Amino acid sequence: MFEKFTLGSLYIMNQYRSAILKGIVFPFILYVLLQLARYESAYTEFTHGSAFSLLHIVLFVIDMAILSIISINTTRIILLNERPEAFKLRFNRRETKYLLYCIGFLALWIVPGMFTGASLTLITYSVFMGLIPLTFFLATLFFTLRLSLVFVGVALDKKISMRESFSMTKRCQWSLFFSLSLLIGLLFMFEYCFELVSSTIGGQTFSLITFILITPLVDTFIYVFSAIILTILYSNAYQPTSSPQAGSMEDAQ
Confidence tier at 115 by pLDDT (50, 70, 90)? low
Q: How far apart are CA 244 and CA 251, in angstroms?
A: 11
Question: Is the confidence at residue 52, as pLDDT, over 90?
Answer: no
> In the prediction, which pLDDT does 73 show?
94
Give mean pLDDT, residues 116-138. Answer: 61
> In the prediction, which pLDDT does 170 show?
79
Residue 214 or 136, more confident: 214
Confidence tier at 241 by pLDDT (50, 70, 90)? very low
Q: Tens digit of pLDDT for each residue in 179-206?
A: 777 776 776 677 667 667 666 765 566 6
The pTM of this model reads 0.78
Question: Is the confidence at residue 127, as pLDDT, over 70?
Answer: no
Report percent pLDDT > 90 for the chain: 23
Q: Which of 10-24, 78-92, 113-127, 237-251 has the lowest mean pLDDT?
A: 237-251
Give mean pLDDT, residues 31-40. Answer: 84
Question: Is the confidence at residue 252, as pLDDT, over 70?
Answer: no
Confidence tier at 222 by pLDDT (50, 70, 90)? confident
Total count of domains within the chain: 1
Question: Is the confidence at residue 217, as pLDDT, over 70?
Answer: yes
> In the prediction, which pLDDT does 123 show?
57
Give mean pLDDT, residues 76-94. Answer: 88
Q: Which of 44-58, 133-147, 148-162, 165-179 has the lowest mean pLDDT?
A: 44-58
Average of per-residue pLDDT values in the chain: 77
Give mean pLDDT, residues 106-128. Answer: 62
Residue 185: domain span: 2-252
Question: Is the confidence at residue 75, as pLDDT, over 50?
Answer: yes
Question: Is the confidence at residue 169, as pLDDT, over 50?
Answer: yes
Give mean pLDDT, residues 145-157. Answer: 90
Residue 247 or 202, more confident: 202
